[in-house]
Structure 1
Amino acid sequence: MSKMRKGEPTFGATFYTGSTTAIEVAANWGLDFAFIDAEHTPVNVDSHLEKLVMAALMGGIAPLVRVRGTNEWDIRKVLEFGATGVIVPQVNTADQARAIVRAAKFPPYGRRGGDASCRAAGFAGPGFQWSAYMQHENESRLVIPMAESFEFFDNIDEILDVEGLDVINFGPADYSISRQISIDYSMSHPEVDERLSELVEKSHARGIKVMAPCIPPVADSVTALKKKGVDMIIMGNDVLFLNEGCKRASQAIAESAAAR
């Protein structure tokens, strides 16, 4: 994620299908990160997820894993698998944010449990040093809570003041569900747009980056998010891409039949 550290926007996609192929294809097309979902999918924090992380690493695309919640074992394991960052859904309070940092960071920031027999530590191979390993993990692994409820914004200042947060991922659909307003990933609802602007302003004031979805994933939408200050832009997801491809195929079949 060197581009992000230079202040440049980064681009990725979400992966729901649990397919290593989808991640490798995204890497081939030069996306920066793979948002691997283990919240809404059959993917668990197990050997299957490890393969998805490895596919991303081998392709040169940063794996970011969305876990099921603030469970410290899930958070620790995805980082030990080699994930570049951990995304945690439904964060509503500063105490939850502190629990994420505690699980993801080694002292002095947190209390992450350690074992050298994992990918993140190079399996304690040649030249392994505990001090260097822990410093590298603290400096390079992204802690990414999700802002996807009105409760997050009720407590936004206290949450963002928690030390150790790197990025906040804005979830417009779940925010809209929490407020019982129309659900629209394009964020056309004025309240949703206002919350994203508030998140960008307050996060950037504290040196925290912001991630948000780009739906539809077209140039005008990218430009609008960049102007708003979004740092990490999610250019759709593998299920969306499959739907678009199958829709075009279905339309072609229908047009061919009508032309007879």
Structure 2
Amino acid sequence: MAPPENRSLAAKMQRGEPTFGATFYTGSTVAIEAAGNWGLDFAFIDAEHTPVNVDSHLEKLVMASLLAGIAPLVRVRGTNEWDIRKSLEFGATGVIVPQVGTADQARAIVRAAKFPPVGRRGGDASCRAAGFAGPGFQWSRYMEHENATRLVIPMAESYEFFDNIDAILEVEGIDVINFGPADYSISRRISIDYSMAHPEVEERLAELVEKCHARGIKVMAPCIPPVAENVTALRKRGVDMIIMGNDVMFLNEGCRRAREAIDTAAKTA
């Protein structure tokens, strides 16, 4: 039996269609399954800012994504090759790596995520991605499939990335760049605004899209607030993969509405 995987995200990307996802901070399989029910394309599972580690907890989140039909993309803690390799061996469709600022860092990510001849990823057949070396397993087919289908997604979220953008984007094996407007703004000590209204942030996104698309690399960015006009604006800017908020945001929004209803009812009682 072939290992479980999500192929719909890659198919949409290959056709040039926009794809949509959400970030998951709570570590809840329920949140990911609910997102799958509503037809989102990818689950951005965060292991950088949360208690989620690259262990059996993350494995459950990846499996929940695959069972819900939503592609699991794991944001690891950094360029640690063990985190990258284990996330992919758990069955993740791709890895998102934060705070990339140099071509050497980008090469380290590819080295950890891709088998030779592209990288130097270590291998073991006793993992989910390899189908646990079940019937018909072949090393060559497994490695070729992993190299062709697992997404490598560095993050552009600092001025250092843009200082070295051309060298970074020339690294073979990068599939997508995720733009992080908040951390970019922090690095430049300018106003922090996920809506990307600051002129400098708009310029950096435009530069990223232009240079990535010239090399066949996709661009991911957040849509905050996640409303139709912002989706349209991001599509016009050339963003390929759009992050429609996160599970904590959705909880806050629901609780805000509940509080408003309580307060309104109290005034009319």
Q: Which residue of 2 aligns with 1:61?
A: 70
How far did residue 44 of structure 1 move?
0.2
> Letter of the aligned partner of 1:177 in structure 2?
I
> Letter of the aligned partner of 1:88 in structure 2?
V
How many percent of aligned residue pairs carry the same amino acid?
A: 85
Q: How many residues align?
A: 260
Aligned: 1:104 with 2:103 = no
Q: Which residue of 1 aligns with 2:4?
A: none
Scaled by the length of structure 2, what TM-score is found?
0.96
**Inter-partner Cα distance in structure 2 for 1:245 and 1:120:** 37
Q: Which residue of 2 aligns with 1:114?
A: 123
Supply the RMSD in Å over aligned alpha carbons.
0.3
Q: Which residue of 2 aligns with 1:148?
A: 157
Q: Which residue of 2 aligns with 1:207?
A: 216
SS in 2 for 1:188: coil
Q: Which residue of 1 aligns with 2:147?
A: 138
User: 4+ residue runs of structure 1 moved beyond 4 angstroms?
Assistant: none
Give 1:33's match in structure 2, choosing from 42, 65, 72: 42
**Inter-partner Cα distance in structure 2 for 1:129 and 1:58:** 25
> Letter of the aligned partner of 1:250 in structure 2?
R
Q: Which residue of 1 aligns with 2:25?
A: 16
Query: Residue by residue, what CA displacement relative to the aligned partner does 1:65-88 show, whole Å, maximum 9, x if unpaired?
Result: 000000000000000000000000
Q: Which residue of 2 aligns with 1:221?
A: 230
**Inter-partner Cα distance in structure 1 for 2:128 and 2:73:** 15
| Alignment gaps of 5+ in structure 1 | none
Aligned: 1:182 with 2:186 = no
**Inter-partner Cα distance in structure 2 for 1:98 and 1:6:** 27
Scaled by the length of structure 1, what TM-score is found?
1.00
**Inter-partner Cα distance in structure 1 for 2:97 and 2:112:** 11
**Inter-partner Cα distance in structure 2 for 1:5 and 1:242:** 33
**Inter-partner Cα distance in structure 2 for 1:95 and 1:234:** 27
**Inter-partner Cα distance in structure 2 for 1:136 and 1:228:** 32
Q: Which residue of 1 aligns with 2:6?
A: none
Q: Which residue of 1 aligns with 2:206?
A: 197
SS in 2 for 1:35: strand
How far did residue 5 of structure 1 move?
1.3
> Letter of the aligned partner of 2:250 in structure 1?
F
How far did residue 183 of structure 1 move?
0.2
| Alignment gaps of 5+ in structure 2 | 1-8
Query: Residue by residue, what CA displacement relative to the aligned partner does 1:156-213 show, whole Å, maximum 9, x if unpaired?
Result: 0000000000000000000000000000000000000110000000000000000000
**Inter-partner Cα distance in structure 2 for 1:245 and 1:201:** 37
Aligned: 1:80 with 2:89 = yes
**Inter-partner Cα distance in structure 1 for 2:14 and 2:260:** 43
SS in 1 for 2:129: helix
> Letter of the aligned partner of 2:133 in structure 1?
A
